[in-house]
Amino acid sequence: MRKLIIIGLVYLAITGLTWLITKSPNATQTMAVLLTGLIVLWYTYETKLLRSETQRQTEMSQRPFVVAKLVDDHFEVSNLGHGVALNIRIKPIEVDQAEQILIQFPDSIPTLNPGETMRIIAESFKKKAPAGDFFLAHLDPNYANRELVVEVKFQSIDFREYLTKEKILPGKREITEFIQE
């Protein structure tokens, strides 16, 4: 409100000074039109900034946020965001390079509504041979003996791609990154 009052006073002062100095109604009118044009340009710029911020806030409030976690003997993915998540997939996790221990998630989930949780199949392999769910305990913070990163990729309904990175450490699980790709 203060800005508006100051702008109004400056506008009146400049047009008033123009009239006092020139005593010409045409010069005063020209200055008033020029100042009005500048104010309109400033207002247009401010409106553009406001529109951009409003759009950004709307997108943030409607985007999905998907996380994965081990629950008992199976994996679940949950959409904690406010938008529908599409094409959810979890990148394979290398537990031990020397022993060639790998945990894979062969299936993807086509849709996950806000607040919804779904079970996802996880398979472990040792030297490319199936090991069932034996090595899944590495992704449980209670049994983890090393740091592992779980990467969950998904899309919003406008097909923007997102990635959530979760770190599994001995005794804790934390979300380390959430990025739009």
Instruction: Residue 47: count other Cβ atoms within 10 Å of its Cβ.
Output: 10
Supply φ then ψ for residue 147, to 5 degrees: -90, 125
pTM of the model: 0.71
pLDDT digits (tens, 9 = 90+) for 38-74: 888 888 999 999 999 998 888 888 899 999 998 887 8
pLDDT digits (tens, 9 = 90+) for 85-138: 999 999 999 999 999 999 999 989 999 999 999 999 999 999 999 988 788 888
Domain ranges of the chain: 2-61, 64-180
Domain 64-180: which topology?
A: Immunoglobulin-like (2.60.40)
